[in-house]
Amino acid sequence: MRIFDYLVIWGCLVFISPASAQQREYFLPQPTVQKYAIILAGAAAEEKYAVQIHRWALRLHDILTNDYGYGPEQIVLLTGQVDPDDARISGYCRREIFQDKLRVLREVLEPGDQVFFFLLGHGTSNAEEAKFVITGPDITGREFASILESLSEQDIVLVNTTSASFPFCTALTGPGRVIVSATRSRAEKYDTIFAQYFIAALDGHAGDRDKNRRVSMWEAFGFAAKNVKKWYADQNRIPTEHAALDDNGDGIFSLDPDGVRDDGRLAEIAYLDLIPAESTGDDIPAGVDVTLIRELTAKARGLERSVFLLRNRKAELPRESYQKEMELLLIELARISSKLRKMNPAPGD
């Protein structure tokens, strides 16, 4: 990335206010941190929606594999339509199968690992409870909250793209969690299109707003919310969904999580992408030191993270101290990024 790109990022986010104290460091970009994705494609009342949900799930799986480097051991995909010849699918989206897959995952998880949940399909709610609809007994928000409690040492991202997702998600907020809901209230309980655009944000890194070749959950959220709004305007329809996000654990969801009103600070440092593997892949030029790329990538991502965290403390620091510290971070980040570009240039560089 060029120095100009970092100055653009700086200019976009200088108004972010100080971050609240955290119990531990979240979403660390370290080579030892492992990332896992769990895709739950639930049930649908009509065949056309079932087909759409299934396609979204497979597309998301392929994006994680092709664009983000996830191996089969890092993705659990449960759907309502299981093809025995499709190795991407881990099984039916049923409660007992989900619990079994999660039990296996817990055995390999380490503190600080990151788990990304994607709920695709249909949700329901009443005055007492909200549910994610699957074959067999549905999963309630309170039940999913218990599941997340068992992952208290891991960093969590949960993206619920379903109808009635808001009351489901309100039970899930907590420290170290980025919770995304396709809807903002109990009244929004009609079928949503948020999943289509959230997945599109990840595809080919289309949602990369700051041009660092990565898509944070904050960027993906913003990309999807903007395109959902445009879709309803183009259709000349009144919007029946408004995406919201909570990542500070207060249970108050924001429609515009820019950090000024607290939400957004964690989402902007939460990324799906992995540190390059130790073994040389097809996308690494022959003769390139993969271990060095891995080390430099980890350093660059650590510096990016420090840039965001420093901006969050801008109001706490004297102006000169802030500017000096930021300048040092950006210069070092540009230096390491230049090395990486020369060793492993992206298409078009």
pLDDT tens column, 60-119:
999 999 999 999 999 999 999 888 899 999 999 999 999 999 999 999 999 999 999 999
pLDDT over 90 at 144, yes or no: yes
Structure tokens at 78: 């449960």
Say how far apart CA 75 and CA 320 lie, in whole Å: 46
Which is it for strands 75-79 and 91-92: parallel, antiparallel or unpaired?
parallel
Host H or E run for residue 137:
none
The answer for 162, left when phi > 0, alpha when psi is -120 to 50, beta otherwise, is beta
Give Cβ neighbours of residue 99 (< 8 Å, ≥ 6 apart): none
pLDDT over 90 at 188, yes or no: yes
pTM, two decimal places? 0.86
Residues 298-333: pLDDT tens digits?
Answer: 898 989 988 888 887 788 889 898 899 999 999 999
The answer to whether residues 38 and 101 touch, using CB atoms and an 8 Å cutoff, is yes
Say how far apart CA 216 and CA 210 lie, in whole Å: 10
Strand order in the sheet with 123-125: 123-125, 130-132, 139-140
pLDDT over 80 at 2, yes or no: no
- The residues that bridge with 157 in the sheet, in sequence order, are 116, 178
pLDDT over 70 at 174, yes or no: yes
Say how far apart CA 180 and CA 245 lie, in whole Å: 5
Say how far apart CA 195 and CA 60 lie, in whole Å: 10
pLDDT value, residue 203: 97
Mean pLDDT of 202-219: 94
Residue whose C-alpha is closest to residue 124's, from 52, 45, 229: 45
In the numeric block, the tokens 């597309």 are attached to 59
pLDDT value, residue 260: 53
Strand order in the sheet with 91-92: 91-92, 75-79, 35-41, 114-120, 155-160, 177-181, 244-246
- Angle at the Cα of 162 (from 261 to 120), degrees rounded to 5? 115
CB neighbourhood size of 11 (10 A): 9
CB neighbourhood size of 134 (10 A): 24
Structure tokens at 309: 């965290």
The answer to whether residues 339 and 11 touch, using CB atoms and an 8 Å cutoff, is no
The answer to whether residues 158 and 180 touch, using CB atoms and an 8 Å cutoff, is yes
Say how far apart CA 230 and CA 153 lie, in whole Å: 38
The answer to whether residues 18 and 345 touch, using CB atoms and an 8 Å cutoff, is no
Say how far apart CA 254 and CA 258 lie, in whole Å: 9
- Which three-class secondary structure state does DSSP give residue 98? helix
Host H or E run for residue 281:
none
